[in-house]
Amino acid sequence: MASIRILGTGGTIASRSAGTGGLVAEDRTDDLIRTLSRRHTVTVRDIMVSGSYLLQLSDLRTIAQAARNAVLDSTVDGVVITHGTDTMEETAFLLDLVHGSPKPVVFTGSRRPADAAAPDGPQNLEEAVEAAASPELRGTGVLVSFAGKIRSARGLFLASTVAADPFAGGTEVAHFIGDSLHVTARPLRPSPMRMPSEEFDQARVSIIDCALGTDTGLFTYAVHAGADAVVLAGTGLGNAGPGFVEAVQDAVRGGCFVVLSSRVPFGPVVPTYGAGGGVDLVRAGAIPSGDLKPSQARILAALLTSQPATPEQIHRVLTAAPGRQGGQSG
């Protein structure tokens, strides 16, 4: 039997129908744990009760600090965080960047609300608690447990708006067969970064879509409005249209970091094309995001620029992409 701390933040798992007003997060964590099998000892704390689409960077810092406090508690073996799916990929990734404890931190949530005829939250929470309690998952960082699958936070993204198993990307670390947890891989863990400071709350990082025919107007506006960094959601391997090379060069000269990502769901940024493509964007000062997609590249850029970091440090962190360590079953 393990001792698990459950931190509640809201999301669909804590939501109920408000009639024509739509779903509203209102359940406290004490309500969520009523269906648990109690195979493990659980303690709970509500951090907030909110839809994750409403969260700000300051809220992510609050969640990160609560998780840090929980793992520092010698009586706690693992942590579960209930969270909305809309922005789970951002919050989980921030925590993964700063998580230095071997204790598992596991995010979960639901696609159906608490008052649905067949809510999926109770089963997801049961499995997340089991994952957080598993000795085999110690040292694997921050994970997301959903619909019987457990994935690493890094590289994770919401791939479906309605599917019961909505996430893709990352490394599948484990899965459930019935009630049995089977560990299949261990992500390589980079050194933890410093916890976000109050400056993180005010970090201004914009994502600019480089879709076909897009001009540089929004990019230039973001830079002139005081962005600390801009993430380009490039096409393909990491490309952008006419005018972006010059715009990136001007932004970097003015002190704004530019990160080159890709709108493609899978695969790393690999600057390959000239004539204004990824090769020229990097020469102009853009930093390739490696395997990070725009949403997670934005969180990393916000953390780095708020510390602050040099272009060389940002490049080093972005290119130090952890992979997976051995496939082991358990």
Tens digits of pLDDT across the chain (330 residues) = 999 999 999 999 999 998 888 999 999 999 999 999 989 999 999 999 999 999 999 999 999 999 999 999 999 999 999 999 999 999 999 999 999 999 999 999 999 999 999 999 999 999 999 999 999 999 999 999 999 999 999 999 999 999 999 999 999 999 999 999 999 999 888 889 999 999 999 999 999 999 999 999 999 999 999 999 999 999 999 999 999 999 999 999 999 999 999 999 999 999 999 999 999 999 999 999 999 999 999 999 999 999 988 878 888 887 665 544 444 333
Which range of residues forms the domain containing residue 300? 203-319
Could you say which of 9, 29, 85, 140 is catalytic?
Answer: 85
Total structural domains within the chain: 2
Last residue of a domain, one of 187, 211, 238: 187
Same domain flag for 147 and 285: no
Asked about 62 being catalytic, the answer comes back as no
**Reduced to 3 states, what is the DSSP secondary structure of residue 110?**
coil
pLDDT in tens, 19-72: 888 999 999 999 999 999 989 999 999 999 999 999 999 999 999 999 999 999
44, 33 in Cβ contact below 8 A? yes
How much is the pLDDT for 102?
97
Last residue of a domain, one of 161, 187, 213: 187
CATH of residue 262's domain is 3.40.50.40
Question: How many C-beta neighbours within 10 Å does residue 306 have?
Answer: 22
Nearest to 273 by CA among 240, 231, 233: 240
Q: How many angstroms separate the CA atoms of 280 and 258, rounded?
A: 13
How much is the pLDDT for 43?
97
Same domain flag for 29 and 109: yes
Asked about 87 being catalytic, the answer comes back as no
Last residue of a domain, one of 127, 152, 187: 187
Could you say which of 12, 82, 171, 305 is catalytic?
Answer: 12
Same domain flag for 73 and 219: no
* 271, part of any domain: yes
Q: What does the block give as tokens for 308? A: 């602050």
Same domain flag for 22 and 159: yes
Same domain flag for 26 and 174: yes
How much is the pLDDT for 328?
38
Same domain flag for 32 and 147: yes
Q: How many angstroms separate the CA atoms of 125 and 7, rounded?
A: 11
Same domain flag for 99 and 238: no
* 328, part of any domain: no
C-alpha angle 105/111/117, rounded to 5°?
A: 125
